[in-house]
Every structure is written in structure tokens, then in C-alpha cells.
Structure 1
């Protein structure tokens, strides 16, 4: 009998990130799974995490803000490491290079738990065996960031390609997240609203598309948008991961409109400081009062 229950169970590789911007170089610990766990925990959610790191990097698990009992790591021959070189002041253009990649996740890696949401927080195509999507859709809500299915590592260089199995698996996805560029790759549509409509037509139930100016959500009936209002972009890395995780966990108890404003405010605050969001729900409520 399962006796460990989570609001959200976040699966993905930790990444040893190298960030190059305007001649500066820094190393940090990132990955969608890190940013997502902080955002979910800030809202008061019970969070479980599944990740993979090499034995020599086991100390990286200390970077999570959840208890050790809620972190499941199955080990890997290698640890994912990505270099991000930003090419523009708004940090929208970047060159990504995969320096190393951890082993993929399979259903056998899942611990004996249950969760309201199973969140695929991937970085690179091949990180998950795709049959996990359909299998977990029978257990709870599935949330998926397409970055982990479109971004391919080819000779180290990150290349975005359409997801060949999108029409097979999108009907099993309750919350789908893309950015504007990824949405265009999947649909051929530059217009974000049209892209969201097409993705809904493929079967995803609720689509989030992030952009540097706003976040858009479409549920097949209505379009909802919320502006991003960061006062600086020093914490741009992890924007989409943070926004999506904040949104889906808030959706467990709120409608789309309230959850979207909450997520937009949280990620705007996060973008003002490097690293994952380390504030509280009260901080976000104050941010909303001040800027929204």
C-alpha cells in the first residue's frame, strides 16, 4: 500500500551549469528539476523529486530545498552539465552546449509513491522513456515541459527539433509548457495564440506558452495572459521552469486566472535574483499587490 503522497512529483536531471554573459563566466547548479522544486515548495506544496547524478556528484542533492526523504536518486554513470552562452541583453538568445548527460529515466526508477501531479521537468531529448507519459497519466495529472523532448544534443551542440511522437503523447498531457520558439517548432505558427490552439487540437488539455513579455494559457475555450514585470534580468535562467511549476501547483486549488497571476508574479520576482526562487507565498502576495 502506498503511504507517501505528494502534490507534485518532479522528475528531471540536475545540471552543472556554466553561464557566460557579457564576458563573465560563472558556474552554478541548475536544471529544471531544481527551479521547479523551489517554486512548488514556495507555494506550500508537498514536493517529491526524482533525479540522477553520478556517485561523485551526490553532494549536488543538497541543492534541493525539500527534505532528504523526499529526494529519490537512482544513480548514473554521468551527471548532466550544460553551458549557456547568452548573446543578447534580454537573454532571449543563447547558445547551449551539452557537456555531459546523465542516464535516462524509466518507469522502474519511480519509487512507491503517488502524486496529484507528475511533472516531467526535462532538459534534453532522451531524458525520459516516452512510455512514462502514458503510464503516469493513469495515476494522476501529467505536466510536461517540451524542452525535454525538443532539445537534442548533437555532438554537444543543442539543436531544437520537432517531437516526432507529439500526437501520440499530447492527449495524455494535462499541462503542457512551451516557450514561443518551441511552440513555433511544434506547430509552424509564429502567433502564440494560434500555436496554443493547434497544440490543444493535438490533445493537450491546458497549454502554457512563455514569452519575455507575458505568459499565455489556453484551455480550449479561453485565452488568459499575464505580463512579466521583473525589474532586472539577473535571474533570467530558470524562468520557464519556475513559472510552470508555480502555475501547475497553484492550479490544484485555484482557477486559471488566479494561478496565472500568481505564477507570473513569482517568476518576475525570481528573475530579479540569480538562482531558484527562495521567497515565500507572502512575498508573492506582496509582489502582486505592488505590481499587479
Structure 2
């Protein structure tokens, strides 16, 4: 059986950074960043990516397949096109959506079998509530909440409420949020209190990333804290959260504990921050970052 099945759209991205001033065009999306991160690590877990793309982006699917990733690709008439514009501080980002893909359907996913289903949500309507409930009946559902808190008004990405949060969080085993998302979900400014609230709503493992403040995991009634590991240079934060999810789920699938998995994920993020594009390092590089910061 597949250990991790990641479901999400591959996007076309325009990334605009201020330091240094640069505009980059590339593929992206939560599932894309996770798949390349997994492809860079030892293949001792079974990973399956499910995506929906236009013919224009199908070459990216073929690259992933050539790298050894199992990919199921449904065809979509249109493809998600994101513009990510960063300020001098990489934690500050504005987004526009210039095109969208069709949402995933229950019929597309009904025959998928996995221990963990990671939903790489980009926009609030990517996955109907029934899909989450169905997948939770077959395995653990892991969600990066970012997409559920985004709606598109014209081309602008606006923050929105997650209308079905209480319905779906009780079916969510693992939830990753950043500090802003944590506060948006709960109305609480203290991330520890917010994480506890999310846990009380039914989430088994709550992961909160805190930017330069590191990250923490609430699991089995205990907090596990990981400091931020400073990159040698800060180039591009796009896909950093997805790289964290990849590292965490990979480590957990290999039997690592919560603290060790958090450290592994944080070290992968540090390496990802040093370049534009997906994680491309070796597992030895990840452990080097961890050892260097102990």
C-alpha cells in the first residue's frame, strides 16, 4: 500500500522577489513541491501523486515520472496560474490567481489506497467536504490549511473563513498551519493556545510553523518545539511550507518520533529557502543542517 498519497494541482507560477530583484517563471503548487522533495530522498517509502493539469503543464508530470515519482494526472482544460510577490521580508507575500483548474472529484479518487492522504490545497474549492470525509474513512488525512483560507476575487487572492472547518477538522489527522493561519482559524493570538484549540476540534497532530521563530508540533498532549535553522542565504520562500510537510510526513512514515520529524522537516525548509524551485538536496545535507545547529 502507498505510504503517502499527495493530491493537488501543479501550477504555473510567477515569483517576484525584491532581494534580489528578480522575476522567475516556473511550475509550482503544494503537490509539486512535495513530490520533488520526496524524489530527492531515499525511496524507502511508497509515494503517489495525483494531480490535474492542462496539456501545457503535462511536461512537468513527465519530469516527475522520469525522477521515479508515481503520478496519476487528470486532464484539465485550464491550469492554476499563481503570481507570488514577496516584500523585502520573505514572510510578506501578496498573491494573484490568473487562472484556475477544475476541482478534484470523488470519482477521480475513489480507487486510491494510502496510509496518509495529503491534500495540497491551493484554493478553497479544490476539495469538496465529501472528499475529505471519504478519504478519512480509508486512512489519515493530512491538510495544509493555506488553500482553505483563500478565495479569488477577480484576480486578487483574499483571506476567507473556512466555512466547513469544524465539519472537516474532526476528520483531519494532521494539520499544518502558519502563525497567521493559526490565528485566523481560532481567533487566538497565542499559537500554543490556538494549537490546543485545533487539537480539541479533533486534529491528532497540529503543526504550527512560526517563520523565523521555528515550528512546533502538538501531539499526544505534548508540545515539541524546533528552532528555525538559518539558511546560508535567503532566496525564495515559495514552497517552503510544502517542503516542511514533505519532510514531516516522510520522517513519520519512516517511524521517526515527533521531535525528530520536526527537526528533519525544518532542516529541509532551510535548504529550500536557499534557492528558487523545489527541494533538490540529499538526505545527508538535511542531517548536516541538523547537526550544525545542535
Q: TM-score normalised to the size of structure 2?
A: 0.92
Paired residues for 1:141-290 under 5 Å = 141-213=140-212, 214-219=214-219, 221-229=221-229, 230-252=231-253, 253-290=255-292
| Aligned residue number for residue 134 of structure 1 | 133
Shift of residue 287, structure 1, vs aligned partner: 2.0
Whole-angstrom CA distance in 1 between matches of 2:116 and 2:66: 16
Whole-angstrom CA distance in 2 between matches of 1:14 and 1:73: 10
| Aligned residue number for residue 35 of structure 1 | 33
Whole-angstrom CA distance in 1 between matches of 2:78 and 2:92: 28
Alpha-carbon contact 2:49-2:69 (below 8 Å) kept: no
Whole-angstrom CA distance in 2 between matches of 1:77 and 1:246: 32
Shift of residue 220, structure 1, vs aligned partner: 5.2
Does 117-126 or 41-50 show the bigger shift?
41-50
Alpha-carbon contact 2:90-2:236 (below 8 Å) kept: no
Alpha-carbon contact 2:136-2:172 (below 8 Å) kept: yes
1:143-183 deviation per Cα after TM superposition (whole angstroms, max 9, x unaligned):
00111211111111111112111111101111001111111
Whole-angstrom CA distance in 2 between matches of 1:220 and 1:174: 12
Long gaps (5+) in structure 2: none
Whole-angstrom CA distance in 2 between matches of 1:142 and 1:109: 17
Alpha-carbon contact 1:175-1:248 (below 8 Å) kept: no
Whole-angstrom CA distance in 2 between matches of 1:99 and 1:93: 20
Shift of residue 223, structure 1, vs aligned partner: 1.0
SS at match of 1:176: strand
Q: Cα 1:250–1:185, aligned 2, differ >3 Å: closer, same or farther?
A: same
Matched, 1:17 2:13: yes
Q: Cα 1:98–1:204, aligned 2, differ >3 Å: closer, same or farther?
A: same
| Aligned residue number for residue 79 of structure 2 | 79
Shift of residue 64, structure 1, vs aligned partner: 2.6
Paired residues for 1:55-134 under 5 Å = 55-64=55-64, 70-87=70-87, 89-110=88-109, 112-134=111-133
Alpha-carbon contact 2:80-2:99 (below 8 Å) kept: yes
SS at match of 2:131: helix
Alpha-carbon contact 1:38-1:65 (below 8 Å) kept: no
Whole-angstrom CA distance in 2 between matches of 1:178 and 1:190: 13
Whole-angstrom CA distance in 1 between matches of 2:49 and 2:67: 10
RMSD value, Cα: 1.7
Q: TM-score normalised to the size of structure 1?
A: 0.93
Alpha-carbon contact 2:35-2:69 (below 8 Å) kept: no
Whole-angstrom CA distance in 2 between matches of 1:191 and 1:123: 26
Shift of residue 136, structure 1, vs aligned partner: 0.7
Whole-angstrom CA distance in 1 between matches of 2:69 and 2:23: 34
